[in-house]
Amino acid sequence: MDKYQEAFAACPVETNPEHVAAEVKKIVEKAPEYASPEVYAYLFSSIDLTTLSTEDSDRSVAAFTERVNAFDNEYPQYKNVAAICVYSNFAEVVKTHLDVQDVDIAVVAGGFPSSQTFQAVKVADVALAREGGADEVDIVMNVGQFLDEDYETLCDEIVELKHTARGAKLKVILETGALRTPENIRRASVLAMYSDADFIKTSTGKIYPGASLEAAWVMCQSIRQYYQKTGRKVGFKAAGGIRTAEEALQYYAIVKEVLGDEWLNRDLFRIGASSLANALLSVMTGEEVKFF
């Protein structure tokens, strides 16, 4: 048995699709019990507020950042978002304009969203983003290498990019819509964690279907098994198509039920979103809000 098979064996998770669906159904039915002003405010503070548009520019990203600055003044009763997430070339723009405390600068880098480019290009992208001020770097696992079972090349690249990030949080996007099966999602989760990922993230939200509750359940179960084996806590990030407060609450319920309250903080749980921020803010204030 090679080291990758040993890693898979060390993190056993039930991945029969019918079992996964049944477990998710039970949690979703329980999720409304967790609805409260405090939980919605917490979910808002867990958002990586994201703009990843072809139309992004220095001016538009600066304006986007200024809205986050303004939030502290207009809604002082609430904690701000966890991070602003942008393309890697805009890290310096965010750093220049971000005035508020406790909001990180996150970037997507390394051949996002397909991971299809030279490793040297990925390394340069991550290094330049870090130099520009990125506190967190979201990269995409090479799904093609995973499906070919070229685990060594895949893992070596993640380790190299983690080293290049020089202390920034590294979030590894599994692109669960491309992986398709719960077993593939489990194995990809394990490979990312054993390659020193600080977070595992569901999706890019760009090419394949985005986040799913079933993928989240498998990923969180894998995180729990990995923690029990190693003692290292890896974070979970749901991203791709999460737009309503109800959907966000369901992901909260999965993390709470599978991983427990220890994971319910911005160091270990994030939601990547754009429109979700306004949806949650509307629930929190009791009126329709279009702040961001």
Q: What is the pLDDT of residues 90-132, one digit of tens each?
A: 999 999 999 998 999 999 999 999 999 999 999 999 999 999 9
Q: Which pTM does this prediction carry?
A: 0.96
Show the tokens assigned to 120. Answer: 């040297």
250: Cα separation from own chain's centroid: 15
- Write the pLDDT tens digit of every residue in 44-59: 999 999 999 999 999 9
pLDDT band at residue 207 under the 50/70/90 scheme: confident
pLDDT band at residue 209 under the 50/70/90 scheme: confident
- As a whole number, the mean pLDDT across the chain is 97
Phi and psi dihedrals of 202, rounded to 5? Answer: -65, -55
pLDDT at 81 over 80: yes
Residue that the structure tokens 């904690």 belong to:
79
What residues form DSSP beta bridges with 235?
199
pLDDT at 239 over 70: yes
Active site residues: 138, 201, 237
Does residue 146 contact residue 191 with C-beta atoms inside 8 Å? Answer: yes
- Gap between the Cα atoms of 278 and 292, Å rounded: 6
pLDDT at 166 over 70: yes
The pLDDT of residue 12 is 96
The pLDDT of residue 204 is 96
Does residue 205 contact residue 243 with C-beta atoms inside 8 Å? Answer: no
- Gap between the Cα atoms of 15 and 4, Å rounded: 18
pLDDT at 184 over 70: yes
pLDDT at 1 over 80: no
